[in-house]
Amino acid sequence: MASAATQSSSHRRSGNGGDLIVLGIESTAHTFGVGIVSSKEPYILADARRQYKPKSGGILPREVAAFFSSVAGEVLAEALAQAGLTVRDVDGIAVALGPGMGPALRVGATVARALASRYRKPLVPVNHAVAHIEVARFVTGLRDPVAVYVAGGNTSILSYSEGRYRVFGETLDIALGNLLDTFAREVGIAPPYVSGGKHAVDKCAEGGDYIDGLPYVVKGQDVSYSGLLTAALRMARSGARLSDVCYTLREIAFSSIVEVGERCMAHTGRDSVVLTGGVAANKVLASKVALMAESRGARHGTVPPRLAGDNGVMIALTGALALAHGVTIGVEEAVIRQRWRVDRVDVPWYPATLKDLSSG
């Protein structure tokens, strides 16, 4: 992402005695997060966030934006207090400019622009999907993996090639998290209560058996979940045992994305796979990915639940990599990109992770 404001030096050094400190802001969907990272241990200096929870139904972008505006100041203050730093101490301000919901993105972008201009700090644009992959590479230590990225609004299989992350396969319609959340809500096991690695659908699936009649759809490299959702809802409403429907829905949804992930590994010759995004918190899915990898003699890793869902840390750590490679933009260029595709973003730092920055 070269730009007029891209720094001339390709490797930026910090003013913090060699370690690079970056503050990152996340506001693409339901979470307003501020993270602060350093290129030296302990790496993660702060992780503050607030999540918008709708009273009922789905999330309304304008309500999210109002919520974000009301908590932005306190989340920022909390992150700085955790790190024991002021904004003056950081080397750059990173912000997730997309993809995501416009009104929500605008809050993060506004805060980032204000901080960058008030404190004269470089502003670093971060793609949210790239950040989910970078946090996975950072925490698992798997430097060149296939990434299974599954979240509330995204489901894709990615791997690096020629300067960018490429989408090997993705959902043709709704995302995996959305499938689980919508089903749970519609059959009344909502709010899609998740805890201890379990979704409401997992709780409901306990004691369930596999039943016939739900569609398993993989088209080429892609999965499709909307037919599965419709069929599962119809089955649940026509008197089938709910535990069986939940069990089968989960089995089909998880197996199909793991199938595409495996095909990507075979096709690209990669010998490792990482699971990332909010649904990576799911223990059943993580074990399916692990089984697939082990059957191929490949390594695998999963982002821990705390960093699996949206957070500011992943934006900060991706921002640190980008800043170290001179990727910055002027305040006037920092506009939101609601449909910013991951394969449009150069990742010149690859395969470095945050842990490599201070040794350079």
Question: Per-residue x/- marks for ligand AMP, 228-267, CB under 6 A?
Answer: ----------------------------------------
The distance of closest approach from Cβ of residue 199 to ligand AMP in the complex, given in angstroms and rounded to an integer, is 4
Question: Per-residue x/- marks for ligand AMP, 279-298, CB under 6 A?
Answer: x-xx----------------
Size of the site for Mg ion (CB under 5 A): 2
309 binds, among ligand AMP, Mg ion, none (CB under 5 to 8 A by kind): ligand AMP
CB of 169 or CB of 277, closer to ligand AMP: 277
Please tell me the distance from the alpha carbon of residue 177 to that of residue 146, in angstroms, as a whole number: 20
CB of 267 or CB of 306, closer to ligand AMP: 306
CB of 49 or CB of 270, closer to ligand AMP: 49
Phi, psi (deg, nearest 5) at residue 261: -60, -40
Q: At what angle do helices 128-140 and 312-324 cross, to 10 degrees?
A: 90
Parallel/antiparallel/unpaired status of strands 218-219 and 222-223: antiparallel
Please tell me the distance from the alpha carbon of residue 18 to that of residue 12, in angstroms, as a whole number: 10
The distance of closest approach from Cβ of residue 342 to ligand AMP in the complex, given in angstroms and rounded to an integer, is 14
Stretch that binds ligand AMP, among 38-46, 73-81, 194-202, 254-262 (CB under 6 A): 194-202
Stretch that binds ligand AMP, among 9-17, 197-205, 230-238, 320-328 (CB under 6 A): 197-205
Size of the site for ligand AMP (CB under 6 A): 19
Question: Cβ distance 124 to 328 under 8 Å?
Answer: yes
Instruction: Choose which of 166, 185, 198, 203 interacts with ligand AMP (CB under 6 A).
Output: 198
Q: Which of 344, 310, 340, 276 is nearest to 24 (CA)?
A: 310
H/E run at residue 106: helix 102-119
Instruction: Choose which of 310, 311, 314, 352 interacts with Mg ion (CB under 5 A).
Output: 310
Please tell me the distance from the alpha carbon of residue 106 to that of residue 349, in angstroms, as a whole number: 27
Instruction: Choose which of 199, 288, 300, 337 interacts with ligand AMP (CB under 6 A).
Output: 199
Q: Does 309 bind ligand AMP (CB under 6 A)?
A: yes
Tokens at residue 340, please?
Answer: 């910013």
Q: Does 185 bind ligand AMP (CB under 6 A)?
A: no
Q: Does 265 bind Mg ion (CB under 5 A)?
A: no
Please tell me the distance from the alpha carbon of residue 137 to that of residue 124, in angstroms, as a whole number: 20
Sheet containing 164-170: order of strands? 164-170, 155-161, 146-150, 272-276, 299-302
Question: Per-residue x/- marks for ligand AMP, 22-51, CB under 6 A?
Answer: -------x----------------------
Please tell me the distance from the alpha carbon of residue 128 to that of residue 133, in angstroms, as a whole number: 9
Q: Does 61 bind ligand AMP (CB under 6 A)?
A: no
DSSP 241-278: -HHHHHHHHHHHHHHHHHHHHHHHHHHHT--EEEEESG
Instruction: Choose which of 126, 135, 194, 354 interacts with ligand AMP (CB under 6 A).
Output: 194
| Cα end-to-end distance, the chain, whole Å | 22
Peptide bond before residue 99 is cis, with ω within 30 degrees of 0: yes
Q: What is the 3-state secondary structure (H, E, C) of 165-234?
A: EEEEEEECCCCHHHHHHHHHHHCCCCCCCCECCECHHHHHHCCCCCCCCCCCCEECCEECCHHHHHHHHH
Question: Per-residue x/- marks for ligand AMP, 143-182, CB under 6 A?
Answer: --------xxx-----------------------x--xx-
Task: Give contact residues for Mg ion (rule: CB under 5 A).
Answer: 151, 310
Task: Give contact residues for ligand AMP (rule: CB under 6 A).
Answer: 29, 151-153, 177, 180-181, 192, 194, 197-199, 277-279, 281-282, 309-310
